Amino acid sequence: MHAADTNRYRRHVRFAHCACDGPRYGRPTGPPRPAAFLDRDGVVNVDFGYVRHVRDWQWMHGARAGIEWLKAHGYWVIVVTNQSAIARGLATEPQVLALHDWVLAHARVDAIYHCRHLPHDPCPARKPQSGMLQVAGQDFAIDWGRSFLVGDRDTDIEAAQNANIPGLLSAGDDWRGLVRDYVSRRTS
């Protein structure tokens, strides 16, 4: 699935990656673009709890259209998701990566990073820490001054704050209006 593995420095290959051990490439190139970081469960897909199979995946209303809108407006679209299901033994890492590869095939997301750890594990990638965002910044040339995060939990917003970018708190429904309002306020 990972065609990128055969060409480590090919750019703009979309990928799923565990952020706990660092970046996938670590060589951002090209002009910086703003990034829209999206939480996964409750933002991209309906949060049924430990979603790990395609059969349990249900897109949030408006999510795919929102992702299209972000791409049309020049954003990297980067999903950052805590997946402690792996540490809990409820999912394997290959299962999670396979699901994320499927998501990449069905929406114009640039990358999906996950953290496999438990809340109290000493991993800087796990939200509310900002490690996953920092790792993304090692793979993608990011204009941090125009970047933001959309999440449905306080820990998402804290992760954004820890990366010094705004966090938009979604009520767990269609977040397109939230994003459009934010972007138009920023640019007006």
The residues annotated with a catalytic role in the active site are: 39, 41
CA angle 149, 68, 100 (to 5 degrees): 70
Kindly tell me which of 127 and 176 has the beta carbon lying closer to Zn ion: 127
Closest distance to Mg ion from the beta carbon of 79 (Å): 11
Kindly tell me which of 28 and 50 has the beta carbon lying closer to Mg ion: 50
In angstroms, the CA 19 to CA 133 distance is 9
CA angle 168, 113, 165 (to 5 degrees): 30
> Which residue of 36, 77, 79, 125 would you call a contact of Zn ion, by CB under 5 A?
125
Kindly tell me which of 20 and 35 has the beta carbon lying closer to Zn ion: 20
> Which residue of 39, 99, 123, 183 would you call a contact of Mg ion, by CB under 5 A?
39
User: Which one of 1-9, 50-58, 92-100, 148-156 is the stretch in contact with Mg ion (CB under 5 A)?
Assistant: 148-156
> Which amino acid appears at position 178 of this protein?
L
Closest distance to Zn ion from the beta carbon of 72 (Å): 32
Return the C-alpha torsion angle 106, 111, 112, 113, nearest 10. 170
> Which amino acid appears at position 69 of this protein?
W
CA distances from 100 to 74, 128, 183 (A): 22, 21, 27
Query: In the chain, at which residue ranges do the beta strands (DSSP E only) sit?
Result: 15-18, 35-38, 76-82, 111-115, 148-151, 167-169
Residue 110 near Mg ion by CB under 5 A: no
Residue 167 near Mg ion by CB under 5 A: no
Residue 20 near Zn ion by CB under 5 A: yes
Kindly tell me which of 67 and 123 has the beta carbon lying closer to Zn ion: 123
Applying CB under 5 A, which residues contact Zn ion?
Answer: 20, 115, 117, 123, 125
Applying CB under 5 A, which residues contact Mg ion?
Answer: 39, 41-42, 152
